[in-house]
Structure 1
Amino acid sequence: MDITLEKASDTNASLKITLTPADYKPEVDKKLKDYGKKVQLKGFRPGHVPASLVQKMYGKSILVDEINSMLSKTVSQYIRDNKLQVVGDPIPDREQAEAIDWDNQTDFAFSYTLGLASEFDIDFSDLPSVTQYAIQAGDAEVNSTIADLQQRFHTHAHGEEVGEGDTIYGELNQVNVAEGETGFSAKTALPMNKMAEESKGQFVGKKKGDAVTFVLEQAFPDEKARANATGVKAEEAADLTGEFTFSIDDITRHEPAELNQEFFDKVLGVGAVEDEEQFRAKVVEVIQSNYARESAQLLRLDIEKTLLENTPILLPDEFLKNWLLEVNEGKFTPEQVDEQYDDFAKSVKLQLIKNKIADKADIKVEFEEVLNVTRAMVRDQFGFANTDDEEMNKTIDRIARNYLMDEKNNGQNYTSTFNQVYDDKIIEYAKTQLTTVSQDVTVDEFKALVENR
């Protein structure tokens, strides 16, 4: 076998492979012999079909299959052994392959076009610093969060007059019913926040014992809301139209929870805090913890941006555009590929950079690491807290393994989780090598930073 790499430029090359009978004949002969043992042909005992007949029947297809298999392995092995920065897939010279005379040739020549990334290196000491933002929760953010919690843990109160956000209870009766028919009647509740704005004025300010006449489909034009207000099925609500009267029996509303021990215990757990000052301090911690995750994500993006902007890499642009058109089989036009190419090229460069970092830092991912991440995902998804319960842990482990080994999606669950762990380890390593500057920002300042990214 003869293999030659011919580089036309830093980013384009041809890989030429020549095969002689010494390369493929031993394996082809072995497979023909195996076929001869298994093939069944009328007039011959099993395993006694003449080799010449087996060759005539199956020789060509076995030869083609064996050479294709050998080429695939050879190209992949050559790229690995020579550490070529190949992007996209090697593209075979199809005209050359189609011209082969499989019946008479014994030597075979093949050629592959390769797209290469230019050589590059990463020196973390030459890279600029990145900023890690520490988000400080101010009074406005704390007050807003507490107000939301007070609404979430609201109490119920009875009102004297109907307000815009109230729920009113009473009896709903249909008006102008045809003679001999029974009009609709039901004890029900009308939620004011689901009522059309133009109809609310008929109810706001009314008191217990008052009756309101209104057009039902105007008050509740949405049939789902009308069904909820009347208590009928959605398909039946469409037929409920016209004037109705509603006699008000009761008025209820949500009152924000008071800042007391009962509220503190509901939000944070019994005995977690003892007064409002401690409660506000805990709220600050929760807010900053939530934003810490967003800050970590922004830091990750900034690290990737720094690596991309400071690592010059040339790509075989025309080769990649043609490859994208080919592998997507007509899903995109050349114009669409051109439009999206810059983003694609950035993703290719970033992956090359991460692979280089992983290679230099000897970063590897073990199966147990992938399994641990999946176990944590299962715990979060099903609400399983960390526990010493052996049976529970066995259940979590079984679910995690089944998820990773799911054959229905051809191992994609394992691959995606592996890539996630691999990517996380590279970013964590990069954090240790880059200079990181901490900066305090307010919530609004951080939001502005995110928007500008």
Structure 2
Amino acid sequence: MEITLDKHSANQASVKIKLIEADYQPKVDAKLKDYAKKANIKGFRPGKAPVSMVKRMYGTSLLVDEITNILSTSLNEYLKNQTFRILGDPLPVMEDTDKIDWNTQKEFEFQYKIGFVENVDVKLDDSIDATVYSIDIDEKEVENTINNLRSQYGKMTNPETSQENDFLYGDLKSEDGSFEKTFSLPLSKIDSKSLKKFIGLKKGDTVEFEIKKTIKENPASVIGVSEEELEKLNGKVTFTVQNINRTELAELNQEFFDKLFGEGQVDSEESLKNKVREIMAENYNKDLKVFSEEKIKEQIVAKTNLDLPEEFLKEWLLKANEGKVTAEQVEKEYPIYAKQLAWTIISNELAKKNEIQAEHEDVIEKTKEMIREQLASSGLAAQLEANMDMFVDNYLKGNEGQNYMQMLTSVQNDKVLSFVKEKAKVKEEKISVDKFQDLLAN
């Protein structure tokens, strides 16, 4: 057997494997003899058919299987011993295999494309500008959240006269009569300058307005039409009220507190505010942590400037997901994939050079943390904590062990990022919810 590597560029190469008869024939012959002993061929007693007949019937398929096994094992071992890091999987050059004559050929040559990176040099210093954000929840945000919760748990009523924030159920008609639709119009979506004409309406009343001037955001979505249909609704339309729907806010009492957080967890309006503020801060801070870490990753990826084999990776992604994605989709999604791949390579390199390792105990604790969050959202955390070990065990064994490997990778990534922050120039900043929204928007 002869294996040769031909580098075409700094990140792409081809591997050629040449096989002679001595590389594969002894194993093929052994398999033929073994098959002859077990074969049940018409006209012969079981195991008594001549090897020559068995070879004519099954020799080619056994040859293909054996050569396939040799190629797979040899290629993997060869690539494992290289100094560069292989990306994706080797891609066989199909034009070569299509020319093979399995019945007469004795020597074979196979070629594979590979993509790789080498000399991954990650520099960590205080030029990495890391900002760790935390949220500052003001009283107004807390009050708005509590009012939203009271609305969710409130009861629906049908008053005689409309007020701000009601829903008007009725019939919308275009001026020329070409369009008509019955839907529920939320007055919270009406522009403040136009709102007064929708206040004080009763069943049967009709109001006239221009859609784009009156509905302040996403008018097509509010009405439930396409943008193309909305374009045809120029000019004035009329809306005739069939019914008025209003949600009465839930009372701030113990029954409401218990519905939200479980029995006895909150016992006053003040403790409700504190609980809501705590939960809001926790949720925002999780998002801010992810945001900060993504920005750090972007800086390190940019500084490391990995030269990824773009052409090879696109071809590999298309073949690895054959039938599931198109070339156009691969082209569109490649920048996101490349960024994630670059960070994975860098993270693994940092872990290797700095002996950063995810331990089994870390995996268990991170899994518990994840499950507690899921249970907390269902309100069942306290009751089910006693069965936590069972939940963790079931999850980590799931998906044929892939869940465990994903969690192991996540733990290592957390440790690498902590290490990076120690080396970086870290600033701390407390921001408002509005600033948080601005950060995400940019």
TM-score (norm 2): 0.69
Cα distance, 1:387–1:31 mapped onto 2, change above 3 Å = farther
Matched, 1:316 2:301: no
- Report what 2:55 is aligned to: 55
- Report what 2:282 is aligned to: 289
Matched, 1:103 2:115: no
- Amino acid corresponding to residue 429 of structure 2 in structure 1: Q
Structure 2 counterpart of 1:448, from 425, 438, 441: 438
Structure 2 counterpart of 1:304, from 275, 287, 297: 297
- Report what 2:73 is aligned to: 73
Shift of 1:3: 1.9
CA displacement, residues 407-453 of structure 1 (integer Å, 9 cap, x when unaligned): xxxx4xx436632541343133322332343211111111101111x
Structure 1 counterpart of 2:349, from 356, 359, 362: 356
- Could you say what secondary structure the match of 2:304 adopts? coil
Structure 2 counterpart of 1:385, from 373, 381, 386: 381
Shift of 1:152: 4.0
Shift of 1:32: 0.9
- Amino acid corresponding to residue 116 of structure 1 in structure 2: F
- Report what 2:113 is aligned to: 113
Cα distance, 1:398–1:265 mapped onto 2, change above 3 Å = closer
Matched, 1:342 2:335: yes
- Report what 1:64 is aligned to: 64
Cα distance in structure 1, aligned partners of 2:390 and 2:11: 51
- Could you say what secondary structure the match of 1:115 adopts? strand
Deviates more, 1:38-47 or 1:273-282: 273-282
- Could you say what secondary structure the match of 1:23 adopts? helix
CA displacement, residues 314-366 of structure 1 (integer Å, 9 cap, x when unaligned): 12233334444555558777666555443333233223223333444353575
- Could you say what secondary structure the match of 1:132 adopts? strand
- Amino acid corresponding to residue 34 of structure 1 in structure 2: D
- Report what 1:46 is aligned to: 46
Cα distance in structure 1, aligned partners of 2:270 and 2:384: 35
- Amino acid corresponding to residue 134 of structure 2 in structure 1: A
Cα distance, 1:42–1:430 mapped onto 2, change above 3 Å = same
Matched, 1:415 2:402: yes
Deviates more, 1:358-367 or 1:121-130: 358-367
Unpaired segments ≥5 residues, structure 1: 168-190, 207-211, 216-244, 406-410
Cα distance in structure 2, aligned partners of 1:96 and 1:202: 74
CA displacement, residues 80-130 of structure 1 (integer Å, 9 cap, x when unaligned): 232532223322233333333433433322222222224212243366132
**Alpha-carbon contact 1:86-1:115 (below 8 Å) kept:** yes
**Alpha-carbon contact 1:363-1:426 (below 8 Å) kept:** no
- Could you say what secondary structure the match of 2:276 adopts? helix
| Mapping 1:27-426, distance limit 5 Å | 27-125=27-125, 128-154=128-154, 162-164=161-163, 254-257=247-250, 267=260, 276-327=269-320, 337-360=330-353, 361=355, 363-364=357-358, 369=363, 373=367, 376=371, 379=375, 384-387=380-383, 396=391, 400=395, 404-405=398-399, 411=400, 414-415=401-402, 418-426=405-413
Deviates more, 1:261-270 or 1:438-447: 261-270
Shift of 1:56: 2.5
Shift of 1:158: 10
Cα distance in structure 2, aligned partners of 1:41 and 1:424: 57
- Amino acid corresponding to residue 304 of structure 1 in structure 2: K
**Alpha-carbon contact 1:308-1:349 (below 8 Å) kept:** yes
- Amino acid corresponding to residue 445 of structure 1 in structure 2: K
Shift of 1:202: 12
CA displacement, residues 260-290 of structure 1 (integer Å, 9 cap, x when unaligned): 6776566556665665555433332222112
- Report what 2:239 is aligned to: none
Structure index of larger Rg: 1
How many aligned positions are there? 381
- Could you say what secondary structure the match of 1:300 adopts? helix
**Alpha-carbon contact 1:358-1:364 (below 8 Å) kept:** no
- Could you say what secondary structure the match of 1:49 adopts? coil
Unpaired segments ≥5 residues, structure 2: 168-183, 191-196, 207-241
Cα distance in structure 2, aligned partners of 1:382 and 1:137: 24
Cα distance in structure 1, aligned partners of 2:383 and 2:246: 41
CA displacement, residues 174-216 of structure 1 (integer Å, 9 cap, x when unaligned): xxxxxxxxxxxxxxxxx9979xx9xxx999577xxxxx7789x
- Report what 2:236 is aligned to: none
CA displacement, residues 59-93 of structure 1 (integer Å, 9 cap, x when unaligned): 22211111012101221222223253222332223
CA RMSD of aligned residues (A): 4.5
Cα distance in structure 2, aligned partners of 1:345 and 1:447: 27
- Could you say what secondary structure the match of 1:5 adopts? strand
Shift of 1:305: 1.4
- Could you say what secondary structure the match of 1:120 adopts? coil
- Could you say what secondary structure the match of 1:14 adopts? strand
**Alpha-carbon contact 2:128-2:300 (below 8 Å) kept:** no
- Amino acid corresponding to residue 28 of structure 1 in structure 2: V
Cα distance in structure 1, aligned partners of 2:108 and 2:335: 39
Cα distance in structure 2, aligned partners of 1:291 and 1:303: 18
Cα distance in structure 2, aligned partners of 1:142 and 1:384: 24
Cα distance in structure 1, aligned partners of 2:385 and 2:417: 37
